């Protein structure tokens, strides 16, 4: 999964982090038809 | 100026391959419409049927008020720009641009006037006496566009015209084509496999896959409200992330879960999502941010890789359901 985050943020390999999802920008798709819900 | 109407258009080849399936499109007068999709999706075949270069199997194509199904290309009042420029190598730039008009019997003065006008618009006046081999790729493409402009067509058709140019020139030519369209206000249908090009140029964009239209909409509409998983994954760079999830909970408190990830289903999905369903969760890279701690919309992970090019990117150890997570961090906003 790819995240695009603030350019000022510094993260290092193996660093433990929390990623937050913007709840207003989530998408759900039907697993069979793949149509957006 | 003209609108273009495509109704129930099909193309089936003799070998049984069904390249274009029931395509319906209404292209408005002066609109810049882009057909985009992966190789083999039917976008070029659709364009070539509009041009009259490909016979249609069934359906109707109308340009303005006229059904053009049975009209030869030269009678459709369209002009097409090809990926490979299709310039005559032995003719000068002037003659390449003039040829189509000369073949149609336009008077010499009118031909000269139109070529001069187009050359001025495209900034290629100093090149008119050169041969194509003496031109750069970008200059050749300008000549190809010029040859289309002199026709004063009702509709411009572009078949991946920038694909042979290097990345920098492609971006520059995109801007030029957009300006040109704003100046000429001629209906344009443009084919590309490049979603960035589609989103940059199109008033509306048609996403195609396997011969079918998946969605038609303005660029931001496709980005923000994709009709299906294919469109969601095709539009946007980096691409949308997908995770298979199960829905649990009840009432307004529904959760989308997979191993290592549990997020609350937003209220907006109430009534559309039920407990027990298996769905695909889609998250755009730019809808993720680093959080200070855990809450109902966060999940824990660890960075795998950090790199910097045009963007700085990191990849992280993953929730067990995903092999790895990668965070792309733009260096310049």
Distance, in Å, from the CA atom of B122 to the CA atom of B142, rounded to the nearest integer, reads 6
pLDDT value at residue B308: 55
Segment B248-277 mean pLDDT? 88
Contacts of B123-127 with CB under 8 Å at 24 or more apart are: B124/B93, B127/B93
In chain B, which residue's Cα lies nearest the Cα of A36? B228
B284 and B221 share a domain? no
Contact B229 A34 (CB under 8 A): yes
Beta strands in chain B (DSSP E): 4-12, 18-27, 32-36, 58-63, 66-67, 78-81, 155-159, 187-192, 204-209, 212-217, 241-250, 253-258, 261-264, 278-283, 288-291, 298-308, 311-317, 325-330
Do the Cβ atoms of B263 and B299 come closer than 8 Å?
Answer: yes
Domain check: are B43 and B122 in the same one?
yes
Last residue of a domain, one of B192, B216, B234: B234
> Average model confidence (pLDDT) for chain A?
85
Last residue of a domain, one of B211, B234, B257: B234
Average pLDDT, stretch B67-79? 94
For strand B311-317 and strand B187-192, is the pairing parallel, antiparallel, or unpaired?
Answer: unpaired
DSSP H helices in chain B: 43-51, 93-103, 108-122, 137-149, 167-184, 195-201, 219-224, 229-234
**pLDDT at B156 (0 to 100):** 95
Residue B102 confidence class, pLDDT cut points 50, 70, 90 = very high
A with B: how many residue pairs have Cβ under 8 Å apart?
179
Is B310 found in the same domain as B286? yes
Do B280 and A28 count as a contact with CB atoms less than 8 A apart? yes
Q: Return the residue in B246, B297, B319, B326 with the most chain A beta carbons within 10 A, the one to mutate for interface testing.
A: B297
Residue B71 — pLDDT band, cuts 50, 70, 90? very high
What are the backbone dihedrals phi and psi of residue B209, each rounded to the nearest 5 degrees, phi first? -155, 135
Does B276 lie in the same domain as B206? no
**Max Cα–Cα distance, chain A, nearest Å:** 40
Interface test with A, best of B220, B270, B306, B326 (most A CBs within 10 A): B306
Domain boundary among B234, B269, B291: B234
Q: Is the pLDDT of residue B328 over 50?
A: no
**B30 and B168 part of one domain:** yes
Nearest CB neighbour to A18, from listed B242, B279, B298: B298
- CATH code, B110: 3.40.50.300
Containing domain of residue B16, as a range? 4-234
For chain B, what is the domain count? 2
pLDDT in tens, B298-327: 888 887 766 554 444 454 544 534 434 455
Q: Specify whether B125 is located in the same domain as B109.
A: yes
Residue among B57, B78, B6 at smallest CA distance from B35 = B6
Do B137 and B269 reside in the same domain of the chain? no
Confirm if B255 and A28 have CB atoms less than 8 A apart: no
Which pLDDT does position B255 carry in this prediction?
Answer: 92
* Residue B118 confidence (pLDDT) above 60: yes
Q: By CA distance, what is B215's nearest residue in A?
A: A35
Residue A16: pLDDT band with limits 50, 70, 90? confident
Set of chain B residues whose Cβ sits within 8 Å of the Cβ of A27: 226, 232, 240, 281-283
How many residues make up chain A in this entry? 37
pLDDT tier at B263, thresholds 50, 70, 90: confident
- Chain A nearest-CA distance from B212, in A, is 14
What the block records as the tokens of A26 is 């989530």
Write the ipTM.
0.95
Which residues of chain A does B287 touch, with a Cβ-Cβ cutoff of 8 Å? 21-22, 25-26
pLDDT, position B237: 84
Q: Read off the pLDDT of residues B208-231 as tens digits, 9 standing for 90 and up.
A: 999 999 999 999 999 999 999 999
Contacts of B299 in chain A (CB under 8 A): 18-19, 21
B204 shares a domain with B64: yes
pLDDT, tens digit, 9 for 90 and up, residues B192-203:
999 999 999 999
The pLDDT tens digits for B163-190 are 888 888 888 888 889 988 998 899 999 9
* CA-based nearest distance A6→chain B, Å: 6
Q: Mean of the pLDDT values across residues A11-16?
A: 80
Q: Kindly state whether residues B177 and B249 are assigned to the same domain.
A: no
With a cut of 90, say whether residue A15 has pLDDT above it. no
Lowest mean pLDDT among B27-31, B114-118, B314-318, B320-324: B320-324
Q: Give the integer Cα–Cα distance in Å for B216 and B198.
A: 12
Does the pLDDT of residue B20 top 70, yes or no? Answer: yes
Whether residue B180 is found in the same domain as residue B200: yes
Residue B321 is predicted with a pLDDT of 41
8-state DSSP, B226 = -
B positions 177-236 inside 8 Å of A (CB)? 225-230, 232
Q: Given an 8 Å threshold on Cβ–Cβ distance, is A14 in contact with B303?
A: yes
Could you report the per-residue pLDDT of B140-150, keeping only the tens digit for each? 999 999 999 99
Q: Do residues B61 and B115 both lie within one domain?
A: yes
Query: Does one domain contain both B57 and B186?
Result: yes
The whole-number pLDDT of residue B232 equals 98
Mean pLDDT of B111-122: 93
């Amino acid at each position: 999964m790819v995240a695009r985050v603030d350019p000022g943020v510094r993260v290092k390999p193996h660093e433990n982090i929390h990623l937050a999802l913007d709840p207003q920008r989530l998408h759900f798709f039907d697993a069979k038809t793949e149509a957006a819900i | 100026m003209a609108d273009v109407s495509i109704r129930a258009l099909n193309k089936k080849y003799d070998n049984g391959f069904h390249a274009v399936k029931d395509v319906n499109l209404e292209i408005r007068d002066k609109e810049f419409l882009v057909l985009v999709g992966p190789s083999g999706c039917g976008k070029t075949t659709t364009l070539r049927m509009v041009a009259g270069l490909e016979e249609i199997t069934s359906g109707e194509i109308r340009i303005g008020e006229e059904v053009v199904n049975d009209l030869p290309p030269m009678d459709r009042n369209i002009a097409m720009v090809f990926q490979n420029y299709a310039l005559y190598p032995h003719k000068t730039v002037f003659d390449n641009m003039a040829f189509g008009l000369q073949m149609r019997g336009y008077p010499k003065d009118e031909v000269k006037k139109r070529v001069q006008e187009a050359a001025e618009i495209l900034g290629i006046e100093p090149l008119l006496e050169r041969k194509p081999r003496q031109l750069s790729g970008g200059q050749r493409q300008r000549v190809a566009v010029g040859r289309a402009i002199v026709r004063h067509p009702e509709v411009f058709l572009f078949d991946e015209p920038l694909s042979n140019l290097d990345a920098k020139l492609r971006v520059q030519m995109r801007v030029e084509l957009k300006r040109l369209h704003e100046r000429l206000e001629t209906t344009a249908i443009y084919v590309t496999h490049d979603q960035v090009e589609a989103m940059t140029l199109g008033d509306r964009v048609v996403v195609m896959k396997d011969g079918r239209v998946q969605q038609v909409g303005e660029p931001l509409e496709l980005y923000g409200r994709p009709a299906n998983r294919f469109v969601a994954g095709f539009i946007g760079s980096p691409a949308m992330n997908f995770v298979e999830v199960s829905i649990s909970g009840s009432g307004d408190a529904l959760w989308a879960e997979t191993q290592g990830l549990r997020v609350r289903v937003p209220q907006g999905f109430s009534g559309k999502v039920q407990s027990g369903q298996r769905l695909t969760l889609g998250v755009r890279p730019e809808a993720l941010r680093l959080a200070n701690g855990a809450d109902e919309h966060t999940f824990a992970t660890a960075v795998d890789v950090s790199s910097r090019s045009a963007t700085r990117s990191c990849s992280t150890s993953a929730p067990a359901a995903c092999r790895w997570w990668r965070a792309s961090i733009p260096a310049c906003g």
